[in-house]
């Protein structure tokens, strides 16, 4: 690579795989380019290479599921770092050839032409919150599966079991009534008890970390605002903040609904249009948290329950709950945009009038 001319501006495209990465360094002014293939495990070599890049430069990483380690490694080193939407970048290239070099050059060339589709890369503090909320939600789902296993064993024996299942309550129940169950089922329930005990301990650890993050900048103000919405508690508000990140990147409520995968698919042909099931694109944790919030809000808020009943007459109860989840997300987007507390729809319409 020549570095002597001041007019050079370098654009770097990275085609990232789990074991290797292919790097293309491209100069827009003279068309000069070079390639380098490196092993992902050799972090020192990667740091050395990117530290030595001529300036000015911009580096683009393809948005694959395991890009984050490289992002955090390069962010303090390179001059400017962006995240490329891999699917859209390949569609724009319009090439049939599919090689690592071709993909890296495609990213660098589109970046130089200012045509590279960009994806959202959350800041470090958002990524930390996202890691903790996803871990807590994974543990919570495992906890729910264990509870279902316990209920199944209890139903098999026609025993009601504890009214509210926790590891502690199950322990007391087994000590008092375990002898009335078949020996194999008692042993299985003790296995579930040990699983519940560990899961509840780990969930508490995650929740303490999440609470600590929500009480500090940059989340404290927004978490307090989101918590004023019906059905939104610490788990839901933390998940929304972690998965959405910057609310301002969505121009309207429809855009954030599409991002969450809660918008219905549209089938239009021959002048006819039909709505299908929700797309389920985007973060599944966000949809899961919003669905929990929706059912809680339906139980606790009379206005939302009225809307849910109205929608459920034509679409069914589950589809109506999905619609409520989407409306809650849009309401939180509006709260973030206006920096205001939640307002019921009728009050908001009266104030607007």
Is pTM, for the whole model, over 0.95?
no
Thinking of the domain 10-112, which architecture would CATH place it in?
2-Layer Sandwich (3.30)
d(CA 335, CA 229): 9
Does position 107 have pLDDT exceeding 80, yes or no? yes
Does position 274 have pLDDT exceeding 80, yes or no? no
Average pLDDT of the residues in 174-182: 94
Averaged pLDDT score across all residues of the chain: 90
Strand order through the sheet with 81-84: 33-39, 20-27, 10-16, 57-62, 81-84
pLDDT score recorded for residue 170: 95
Over residues 138-150, the pLDDT tens digits come to 999 999 999 999 9
- Secondary structure of the chain in HEC code, one letter for each residue: CCCCCCCCCEEEEEEECCCEEEEEEEECCCCCEEEEEEECCCHHHHHHHHHCCCCCEEEEEECCCCCHHHHHHHCCCCCCEEEECHHHHHHHHCCCCCCHHHHHHHHHHHHHCCCCCECCCCCHHHHHHHHHHHHHHHHHHHHHHHHHHHHHHHHHCCCCCCCCCCHHHHHHHHHHHHHHCCHHHHHHHHHHHHHHHHHHHHHHHHHHHHHHHHCCCCCHHHHHHHCCCCCCCHHHHHHHHHHHCCHHHCCCHHHHHHHCCCCEEEEEECCEEEEEEECCCCCHHHHHHHHHHHHHHHHHCHHHHHHHHHHHHHHCHHHHHHHHHHHHHHHHHHHHHHCCCCCCHHHHHHHHC
Confidence band (pLDDT; 50, 70, 90) for 95?
Answer: low
Average pLDDT of the residues in 37-64: 95
pLDDT score recorded for residue 86: 83
pLDDT score recorded for residue 273: 65
Over residues 149-173, the pLDDT tens digits come to 999 999 999 998 888 899 999 999 9
Confidence band (pLDDT; 50, 70, 90) for 265?
Answer: confident
Neighbours of 86 (CB within 10 A): 20
d(CA 316, CA 51): 58
pLDDT score recorded for residue 353: 40
Does position 267 have pLDDT exceeding 70, yes or no? no
Average pLDDT of the residues in 127-134: 97
Q: From its phi and psi, is residue 84 left (phi > 0), alpha (psi between -120 and 50) or beta?
A: beta
Does position 6 have pLDDT exceeding 60, yes or no? no
Residue ranges of domains in the chain: 10-112, 124-216, 221-352
Q: Which region among 34-43, 104-113, 177-186, 275-284 has the lowest average model confidence (pLDDT)? A: 275-284
Confidence band (pLDDT; 50, 70, 90) for 270?
Answer: low
Does position 313 have pLDDT exceeding 60, yes or no? yes
pLDDT score recorded for residue 3: 45
């Amino acid at each position: 690579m020549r570095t002597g001319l001041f007019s050079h501006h370098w654009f770097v495209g990275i085609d990232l795989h789990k074991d290797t990465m292919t790097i293309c360094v491209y100069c827009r002014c003279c068309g000069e380019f070079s390639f380098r293939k490196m092993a992902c495990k050799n972090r020192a070599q990667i740091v050395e290479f990117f530290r030595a890049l001529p300036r000015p430069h911009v580096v683009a990483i393809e948005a694959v599921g395991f890009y984050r380690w490289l992002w955090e490694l390069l962010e303090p080193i390179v001059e400017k770092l962006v995240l490329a939407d891999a699917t859209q970048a390949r569609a724009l290239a319009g090439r049939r050839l599919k090689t690592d070099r071709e993909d890296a050059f495609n990213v660098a060339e589109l970046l130089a032409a200012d045509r590279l589709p960009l994806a959202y890369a959350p800041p470090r503090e958002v990524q930390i919150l996202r890691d903790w909320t996803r871990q807590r939600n994974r543990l919570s789902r495992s906890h729910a599966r264990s509870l279902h296993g316990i209920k199944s064993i209890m139903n098999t024996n026609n025993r009601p079991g504890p009214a509210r299942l926790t590891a502690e309550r199950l322990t007391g129940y087994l000590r008092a009534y375990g002898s009335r169950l078949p020996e194999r089922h008692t042993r299985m329930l003790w296995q579930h008890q040990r699983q519940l005990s560990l899961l509840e301990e780990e969930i508490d650890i995650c929740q303490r970390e999440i609470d600590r993050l929500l009480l500090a900048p940059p989340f404290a103000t927004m978490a307090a605002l989101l918590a004023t919405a019906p059905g939104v508690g610490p788990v839901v508000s933390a998940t929304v903040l972690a998965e959405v990140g910057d609310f301002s990147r969505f121009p309207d409520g429809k855009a954030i609904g599409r991002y969450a995968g809660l918008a219905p698919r549209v089938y239009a042909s021959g002048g006819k249009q039909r709505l299908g099931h929700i797309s389920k694109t985007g973060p599944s944790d966000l949809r899961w948290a919003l669905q929990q919030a929706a059912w809680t809000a339906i139980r606790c808020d009379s206005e939302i329950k009225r809307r849910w009943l109205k929608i459920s007459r034509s679409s069914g109860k589950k589809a109506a709950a999905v619609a409520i989840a989407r409306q809650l997300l849009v309401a939180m987007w509006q709260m973030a945009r206006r920096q205001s507390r939640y307002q019921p729809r009728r009050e908001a319409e009266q104030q607007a009038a």
